[in-house]
Structure formats: structure tokens, C-alpha cells
Chains A and B, each alone.
Chain A
Amino acid sequence: MSLELVVAAVMFTGVLAYAVLGGADFGSGFFDLTAGGDREGAALRTRIDHSIGPVWEANHVWLIFVLVTWWSAFPRAFAAAMDTLILPLLLALLGIVLRGSAFAFRKYAATLGQARFFGVVFAGSSLVTPFFLGATAGAIASGRVPLDGRDGVWSSWLTPTSVIGGLVAVGTCIFLAGCFLVADARRGGEDELAETLRRRTLVVGLVTGLVVFAGLLPLRADAPTLWDGLTGRALPLVLVAFVAGLATLGLLLVRRYALARLTAVVAVASVVSGWGVGQLPWLLVDEVTVADAAGATATLQGLLVAFGLAAVLVLPPLVYLLRLTQTEQWSRPSH
């Protein structure tokens, strides 16, 4: 594999990590929003706070990782995407800002009224953000980001592919969050809550599956290059996504939550990698390939050093943190 392809692969690993780990955080917003009134929703909202509180900031850094790698390794393509996709990116950014701050504010809000307000902002922006990030991906994947000159500030992303991308992102986030929360609730001994979440996650899973697979059809006309990739090179991943998605629903039905969490991650990771593999070798589809977009070789090599350091310095504590949150002790509520 060439140097630039290795860097692109690591960058895409960041996209995957963000989609899975950050996605589960974002999806919690849906359950928070639909938890019900103050009293009946309290248990679920407390559960969500416990589940994502320790990790959301770390999970958020994957996005920064992807941005930084993108502008260092492929600077011109980065500038082009930022220029054309300014609107969906800004709307996603607005969601990110409101979500992170409202989540922190709600935890220490002065009154129930304030907590309710911050809660709605948190939950609402948790749904807005993945939609616009998905729409951004859709614009790139359907070849609507020119390398030179800003074009189609609206038309580049108000397209079938972008809307499907947005819906797929929102759906997969909610599905993941549901699977994680069910398992957390069970481990925390909240069996009644787990039952509620299980039912909702099953519905979400069915709807998301429909969106993902029905959403493939319009791509044929709207994003032919991506369609060719998805039905060719990336077909195995599409099939894995299908099987893992079905398996997750089955495992939820029989209440095997720990395993369902794993298959849900596989399903979502395959959907996202299907997109990545499907659009290869393009970085910006039909505009510039990964190889042609690459910046200075010395920088790509430097990034490899940074990735190596990350593997040594970041991954072990991250795994430790994620493991801590999955222990019995960290699952029980505190103050």
C-alpha cells in the first residue's frame, strides 16, 4: 500500500471510530428526547448521563483527529470541501457546540426548568449533528465537491444522496445508542428500563435497516460512482452489514444484550466502511484521488509517527476508560 493510502486508511479509521463511539453518544439524544416527562423520564436520562458522561469528550476528539489529518495530509481537498460544504459543516458544528455545552450545563443546572431547557438543546442537537455530517459525506461521495472554486453551496448537498447519508447517519447513531444503553441498563440492574429500551431499539433497528438498504436504490442514478463501488468492491461489506444488522435484531429479541452490542458495532462499521471502500480510489469522488490529493511526503511520514505515538499513548488509556465504564462499579449511579 502506498504511503498516502496508508494515511487515508488511518484517517478513515478515525471516521469509523467517530461513527461508532461518537455515534453512540449522539444517538443517546434521541432516547433522551423521547424519554417522557420529568418524572417518568428521570431514570432513562440519568442512565444516559452515566453512560456517556465519562466518554463523550474523548469520543469527540476523533472528529478533531480526522480534521487535522485531512488538512495535513490532503490540504487542497480539505480546503475545497470546506469551501463548498460550508453550510452543512457549519450546521453540524453548531450542533456539536450546543450539544457538548448543553450536556455539561444540564448536569449542574440550577433548576429543573433550566435542566429541561438544556436537555432539549442537548437532545435536539444530538440529532441535527449526525444528519449534517452524513449529508456532507453524501455530497463528497456523490461527486459534488469540485477541487477548485466554490460551487453549489446549496445544490451540492440538497440531493438524494446527501439526504440518505444524513438519515443513515442519524439512524445508525440511534441504533448504536439503543444497543449500548440496553446493555448498560441491564448491567446497572434497571431491568424495567432495559425492557423499554429494548422495544424502542428494535423499532429503531428495523427503520434504520430499511433506510440503509432502501437508500441504496436512488444512489444508482444520483451517485453512479459510489453505486458501482457499493455493488462491486464494497459488496461484501454491504452483505456483512445486512447479516450483522439482522443478527442484532435477533439478539435483542432474545435479550442477549452484550452480544447484540458487538453485532451492532459490526453492522454500523460495515455500513460506514462500505461507503469508504465504495468510493475508492477517490478522495473527492470524480474530482481527485487519494494519491493525487496527497500533500508533502515528509508530512505524511510525520503523520505516521503521530499515529504511532497515538497507538502507544492514546489507545491504552482510551481502552482502559472504555473498559472502566463497562464495569459493574462504574455502571451504578453515583452523584
Chain B
Amino acid sequence: MEPVLTTLAPFLTTLAADVAEPAGLLPARQQMALSLGWHIVLACFGVALPTIIAVVHWRGAFRGDQGALLLAKRWGKVSAVLFAIGAVSGTVLGFEMGLLWPGLMGTFGDVVGLAFAFEGLSFFVEAIFLGMYLYAWGRMDPRHQFWMLVPMAVSGISGTFFILSVNAWMNAPVGFDIVDGEVVNIDPWAVFTNDQVWMQFLHMWLAAFMVAGFAVAAVYAAGMLKGRRDRHHRLGFMVPFAFATVAALMQPFVGHLLGLRVAETQPAKLAAFELALETESPSPLRLGGIVVDGEVVGSIDIPVLGSVIARNSFTEPVQGLDTIPVEDQPPVNVVHLAFQTMIGIGSLFVLVVLAYWGARWRGRDLLENRWFLRAVVACAPLSVVALQAGWIATEVGRQPWVVYGVMRTNEAAGDNPGLWWLLGATTVVYTGLTIGAVLVLRSMARRWRDGEEDLPSPYGPEPGDAEVEPAGTGAAR
């Protein structure tokens, strides 16, 4: 993600060049991009893994499939690590809302606060039942243990909804009036019913299943590429791949419906998505291309298709950026490229999943095909790229507004140049966390391959030494 940030920086600096810019603006932006971009990947696992685990756990507990139960146990241990760093990086965001954007939280804290409160509630429920689920192995009947996953899955859904309602509110603010510069008539419940919330929620929820589904499936696809072709790998592949399939096939429809709204609510964002510098009717679909000195260079234009996709019409135009005052325009190149990256990867996913199920329908098993397995392995990082690109498209596309049409991002930022230090420190810490997580997850996988099911106590003595189990002393009770 670092390269994304560094390429983003020059665009972001030019953004509000002619407006007075507080010293805390640029570092706050970068900080938010780094910490949110990092957290959102883990959040996907937090949202989708309980449901995916529930399927294998159910097979194991209610159908006596020991192999499935083993998968549930292993995925549960993986989720313990991912949830832990997801929880702490989520806390970081909680602090950052106040530290980086005092103008936003000081002014609108009581408008959007309730949505955060409900999201916090959801997370509370998930954390409690996660503790129970993880520590219940060997202490609780697996059939009883299964029910611990249900509140986790439900709170994953509700948490996504509530946090997305805040973002949707930033795109389509409701629930307050501004009279003489004061925020009045606050209705915090209106945040949940703003125009965008349902589609944005669905879009993100599906994305979570794409990321988690492809990531887990990719692990087992990689195993099959190395010749490990047992039932364990097939089941470990199929369950998450099925979730990823449903999500990948539904996502284009949801994305399309969401895009249609953008034409009405944020024309500048749509114009940047479509690289529409001028209003053309009907509008073409521009593949690739960037704006250099006010001209589109290097794009492939497909006539009329832009109007069809963005407006559901053969004639309605995409409103051009020339109709938007310069100071209200987002950085068009970043938005356009990020948007097309997302769409491109999403289309690729549709091809991959259709190829598998189509072949299977005709009696061919693509799991025997090395190229297909490689493609699935590639889908895991690509799903993360698509996720990041989608967020960059919508967030940078909303600029220069933090709350669309109401508050500019430079009004939300504080005047604190020291934030650059914070950004440096955060980069170091998050790099360390990433290395730690990778080390630990790889070590878990290696031990499992070596047949160590119960990982030894990491607190010493060295594995292999005659271990004095504390349980031994328990016999004296």
C-alpha cells in the first residue's frame, strides 16, 4: 500500500492549493489512508470469517465431519490473530477521528456519534463471543460451541452497516441544519436512513466476503499446487470459494446501482470516475487514460457505453467536470484510475468464478488445472487491491469535501505539523505488525503441515524438552 500513498501525495497536495491549508491536513490524510487502508483488510476478515467458519463448524458438529471441524478449529486460531490486530487498529481509528480531524468531530460528533455507538456495540458482542468460541475447544460441546459463531456473524453484519452509515453520511449528510454557522436540529437517527447507506453497506459487505473468501481459498489452492491434494484441501478451498463466488457475482449489480446514485448526488465524483472533462451526450466509456494539461491522453473510448453504465440510458450524458467549479473538483486522475482498477479486477473475478462453475457443470474439475489454481492464488492480493482502489475512488472522489457540500476537508483538519512524526511512527509500527502477523501465520501453517495440531506452549521450555505440564499439578487437587 505504501506505493499507493506515495503516488497519491502529489495529487493530494495540489488539491487545495488555492485555499488556506492547515499544517495538519496532508499528514492527517496520509495517516488516515495508511491506518484505514490497513484496518479495512482485517475488518474484512472480522466481518466474513465467522460466517465462513460457521459453515465448516456446522458440518463438523452436526454431521460428524471431523475434517470440517478441524478446519473450523484452525481457521478460528487464524482469526484470533487477525481479530486481535483488527481490534487494535480499529482503536487507532477511534483515537484518530479526534486527533486528526478535530474540526469534524468537534462540529459533527453528536450527529454521527450514535452510529459509532451502535458499531461499538456490535464489536463488543463480536469480541465477547469470539473469546467464548476460541477458548471453548475441549471445554464445550461443539454443537453448543457452534452457536457462539451466530452472534459473531450477525454483529459482523450490523457493525458493517453502522460504520458504513457514517461514511454514507459523509457522502450524503442528513440529520442537522446549519443556521448562522451553528449545527442545530440534530437528528442522530437520520444517519441510518440516508440515501446511500444500504447500497454502500451491501457493496462493502460483499467486498469483505470477496477478500476473506479469496484469501482463504488461495491458501488451499497454493497447497494443491504443491501437490497436497487431500480432502482437507478440497474442503478448505470449496467453502470460502463458494462465498467468494456469490459475492463476486452480486458485486457488479450492487456497484452499478450505487454508481447510478452518484450521478445525482455527486456529479463531480462521477465525472472523475468516467474521466468526463466535458459533458457529452451520449457519453463514451473511457478505458484507461489520464488527464494531462486538461486533455485526456491514452484512453480507449467506447461510444455510448458510458451513458449506459453510469446513467442506465442511451442518451443521458455524464455531466462533465467543466460544469464544476475548479475549487470543487476532485483530483481526477487518481479517482479515475482507482475506479477502473476496482472495476477491472471485479470483472476478472467474475470470469474466474464463472470458469470454475461452468467447467464443473460440464463435468470438468478445474482444481486439476494448474493455471486455474494459480489464478485463484492471484485473486487473493488482487481482491485487496480492488478493495483499496474502491475506497480511494470514493474517498478521493468526494474531495475537497469531508462532509459533502457542508464541510471541506481542510476545515476538518487541525493545525499540527507534528503529525508528520506521527505518520512516520505509524508507518514503522504497522510495518512491524505486518511482519509479525505474517511470521506468526506462516509458522502456524508450517506446524499444521508437520502434523502438530496442538501448538506447544510458546513460553518455554524449548519444544521437545520434557514439558512439565501445569495440568500435572492439577491432579493434586
Contact = CB atoms under 8 A, between A and B. Distances in A.
Contacts, number: 282
A152 interface: no
Contact of B110 (A75, A97, A329): A75
Contacts of A119: 459
Contacts of B287: none
B416 A86 contact: yes
Q: Binding site of A, secondary structure by majority: helix, strand, loop or mixed?
A: helix
A55 B131 contact: yes
A75 B188 CA distance: 13
A53 interface: yes
A105 B440 contact: yes
A313 B121 contact: yes
B469 to A, nearest CB: 7
Contacts of A57: 83-84, 87, 127, 130-131
B84 A100 contact: yes
B414 interface: yes
Contacts of B312: none
Interface in B419-439: 422, 425, 429, 433, 436-437, 439
B359 interface: no
B17 interface: no
Contact of B459 (A42, A67, A80, A99): A42
Interface residues of B, number: 88
A114 B99 contact: no
A64 B120 contact: yes
Contact-residue size bin, chain A (C-beta under 8 Å from the other chain): 35 or more
Given A90-B422, A97-B433, A303 B455 contact: no
B152 to A, nearest CB: 11
A38 B91 contact: no
Contact of B131 (A43, A58, A68, A298): A58
A72 B114 contact: yes
Contacts of A317: 125, 128-129, 132, 151
A296 interface: yes
A333 interface: yes
A314 B99 contact: no
Contact of A72 (B77, B95, B117, B125): B117
A282 to B, nearest CB: 19
A309 B121 contact: yes
Interface string A15-42: 0000000000000000000000111011
B123 A71 contact: no
A222 interface: no
B405 interface: no
B436 A306 contact: no
Contacts of B98: 67, 71, 78-79, 81-82
A105 B105 contact: no
A198 to B, nearest CB: 16
Contacts of B127: 57-58, 60-61
B263 interface: no
Given A38-B461, A71-B116, A116-B460, 14 more contacts: A39-B460, A47-B470, A53-B134, A58-B124, A69-B113, A69-B117, A72-B113, A86-B418, A97-B92, A100-B85, A107-B458, A119-B459, A333-B469, A333-B470
20 contacts: A38-B460, A41-B460, A42-B460, A43-B470, A45-B460, A49-B459, A57-B130, A68-B94, A75-B107, A86-B99, A97-B89, A101-B85, A106-B458, A114-B439, A119-B459, A150-B415, A309-B121, A314-B125, A335-B454, A335-B455
Interface of B: 77, 80-81, 83-85, 87-92, 94-95, 97-99, 102-103, 105-114, 116-121, 123-125, 127-132, 134-135, 137-139, 151, 186-189, 414-416, 418, 422, 425, 429, 433, 436-437, 439-440, 442-444, 446, 454-455, 457-463, 468-471, 473-477
Task: For the complex of A and B, list the 9 residue pairs with the smallest distance between their C-beta atoms, beginning with the closest.
Answer: A72-B113, A75-B109, A38-B460, A295-B110, A110-B443, A79-B106, A104-B84, A335-B454, A82-B98
